[in-house]
Chain A
Amino acid sequence: MGQAATLSVHARSTFASGFVVAPDFDVHLESGSLLVLFGPSGAGKTTMLRQLAGLERPDAGRIGCNGAVWFDADRGTWVPPQQRRIGVVFQEATLFPHLSVAANIAYGVGNGGAASADTLRLLGIDHLSDRLPRTLSGGEAQRVALARALAPNPRLLLLDEPFASLDAPTRLRLRHDVRGLLTRTGTPAILVTHDRAETMAIGDRVAVVIDGRVRQLGPVTDVFSRPVDATVAAAVGVEAVLPARIAGSADGVLAVTVGETMIEVAEREPMAVGSDVFACIRAEDVTIETQRPAHASARNHLAARVVAITSEGPLERVSLDCGFPLDALITRQSRQALQLAAGSAVTAAIKAASVHLVARGW
């Protein structure tokens, strides 16, 4: 079984182009949990992963794992990838073309464990043992690469956009299986992606990487709902991301529970009743009423209390508590007309069509 991993990453790589990748964070990864390095293409996510893997030697700083020093520029310490006990899955399945699937999976297994039959079954590749890599589909190859990376029982799994080159249905299935595998083996993992939905679907925590730096690190809901600054907000998109569950479905409308509160959401794609989702709501789509209107197009009217009001240029951001935290953006005029202040009791209205749901990967 995999153990929790504590990483301390304070390193700096400067490239000939002048681009600097300087991760600067400490993180404790629980057994089986997944940290996503999320950010736009070219932000330096892959370089950070390579620094962790020992494939990229930084120019300065320090990298440690569970108290062991992997890299220390000042003391000249450098632990090569062979001795870090990490598993890596690359964007393209880098299977050894001259070895069978079974030989690929057994490649890194010394005297330590082997890929359990359990792992192979969970990945659905137990029937492929004798095949050569060139006869595999992209999804199969990536599954074999995963099994190979996990076979030596690594203390940390690094995934560099492993789903990016797959078609959508294959990607969704594999994403789901990866999540299950991490939970099963207890291996903590770090995943690089620029895909927002993917981040929400399988991440426990997310580190937003912009321009070679980690700008914000925290639980997915926190980071996506409350970006620390405008740059992070632009990268993650501005909306509240709320953990929710599908409670029922009727006539194209889903009943979704957010905390203790029930909201109605237009059903855009089929969602199984009982499944966990994220409900995403943009602040622009939340309107505030001081009394309940007689006729309204918005389906959801939630009793709320104003927590705080902050000015954002011509708009005011009203932070509400309606059983869960929610922001509304309104004009200064309407704020004055509504006579809003911290503590005011109001009704928050949200159209069923302006809530969008993201399925969780497990």
Chain B
Amino acid sequence: MWLSVRLATATTVVLLVIGIPIAYWIVFSPRRWKFLVEAIVALPLVLPPTVLGFYVLIAIGPLSPIGRLYARIAGHGLPFTFQGLLIASVLYSLPFAVQPFSTEFASVDRRLLEASWTLGVSRADTFRRVVLPLSVRGLITGIVLSFAHTLGEFGVVLMVGGNLPGTTRTVSISIYDAVQSLDYRSASRTSLLLLIVSFVILTSTYALQRSAWVKPRH
């Protein structure tokens, strides 16, 4: 369980760091072909986790330039490590962060941005001082969904991480293991735990969104 939480937390932090710029670009870029990026970001929603996991495994494996470069620097390969798992998780949960972020960014009244620009404030600072504070709701949603989604992921982990106790054996894998070895007691205990944790996270988020911060619009 602890490993799952660690993976989910790390994934969420990485998604916050790379998801905000990606969402910003999708919303504010004038490029015509940005639908392409949107589609790529959304791919994990429809792709079987095994397919995604397979490609990640190939991409970070010893046969790819990225995998070789990493192995040269770190001294060991990425597959079947926590870092490898993290990369796969980030890709897998990307749409769960980027979509709520971009939806919320796009809903900020464009005239507020123009007002800010005419007041001499740069586009980047306008984003920081106006768009981000007005997108708190979407940011929370994205963070929670990424966290919960990573907590429960299975296929990608199995493909990329394997099943190494303490390194890559996450909650969902351990449930699978337990069922395989007919240890239903252990499986039901862990399942119930995951169910409760996920439920509590989601309920508190939705409750928070209802009461707090109703964004004023005119």
Contacts and interface: CB of A to CB of B under 8 A. Distances in A.
Interface of A: 53-55, 80-88, 90, 92-94, 96-98, 107-108, 110, 133-134, 145, 148-149, 152
Give chain B's interface secondary structure class: helix
A133 B216 contact: yes
Nearest to A97: B216
A55 B215 contact: no
Nearest to A141: B218
A108 B216 CA distance: 21
B128 to A, nearest CB: 13
B118 A88 contact: yes
B118 A86 contact: yes
Given A94-B111, A97-B216, A98-B133, A55 B117 contact: yes
Contact of A82 (B122, B130, B133): B122
Minimum-distance CB pairs A-B, first 7:
A108-B119, A134-B216, A94-B115, A88-B118, A97-B216, A81-B117, A94-B111
Interface in B191-216: 215-216
Nearest to B130: A96
B78 interface: no
Contacts of B129: 107
B121 interface: yes
**Chain B interface residue count: which class?**
20 to 34
A97 B120 contact: no
B133 A87 contact: no
Contact of A55 (B118, B120, B121, B122): B118
A276 B115 CA distance: 35
Given A90-B111, A92-B111, A97-B216, A53 B133 contact: no
B62 to A, nearest CB: 48
Contacts of A83: 120
Most buried by A among B115, B118, B122, B129: B118
B109 A82 contact: no
A40 B83 CA distance: 64
Most B CB within 10 A of own CB, among A86, A87, A98: A98
* Residue of B111, B120, B122, B129 ringed by the most chain A CB atoms within 10 A: B120
20 contacts: A55-B117, A82-B117, A82-B122, A83-B120, A85-B120, A86-B118, A88-B114, A88-B115, A90-B114, A90-B115, A94-B112, A97-B134, A97-B215, A98-B134, A107-B121, A107-B129, A108-B120, A133-B216, A149-B119, A152-B119
Nearest to B122: A82
Nearest to A158: B118
Contacts of A90: 111, 114-115
Interface in B60-101: none
Given A96-B112, A97-B215, A81 B118 contact: yes
A97 B130 CA distance: 9
Nearest to B132: A98
B136 to A, nearest CB: 9
Given A96-B130, A97-B216, A82 B120 contact: yes
Interface of B: 109, 111-112, 114-122, 129-130, 133-134, 215-218
Contact of B121 (A98, A108, A149): A108
A107 B134 contact: no
Give chain A's interface secondary structure class: loop
Contacts of A149: 118-119
Contacts of B115: 88, 90, 94, 96, 145
Contacts of B130: 96
Contacts of A84: 118
Contacts of A133: 216
A133 B130 CA distance: 14
Given A55-B117, A90-B115, 5 more contacts: A88-B114, A94-B109, A96-B112, A108-B118, A108-B119
A108 B119 CA distance: 5
A101 B38 CA distance: 38
B67 to A, nearest CB: 43
Contacts of B109: 94
A195 to B, nearest CB: 22
A86 to B, nearest CB: 6
Contacts of A80: 117
Contacts of A97: 134, 215-217
B216 to A, nearest CB: 4
A107 B111 contact: no
Contact of A92 (B118, B215, B218): B218
Contacts of B121: 82, 107-108
A89 B109 CA distance: 15
Nearest to A107: B119
Given A97-B215, A133-B216, A107 B118 contact: no
A164 to B, nearest CB: 14
Given A96-B130, A133-B216, A148 B117 contact: no
A134 B121 CA distance: 23
A303 B119 CA distance: 56
A145 B114 CA distance: 13
B212 to A, nearest CB: 13
B97 to A, nearest CB: 22
A92 B134 CA distance: 18
Contact of B120 (A93, A110, A134, A145): A110
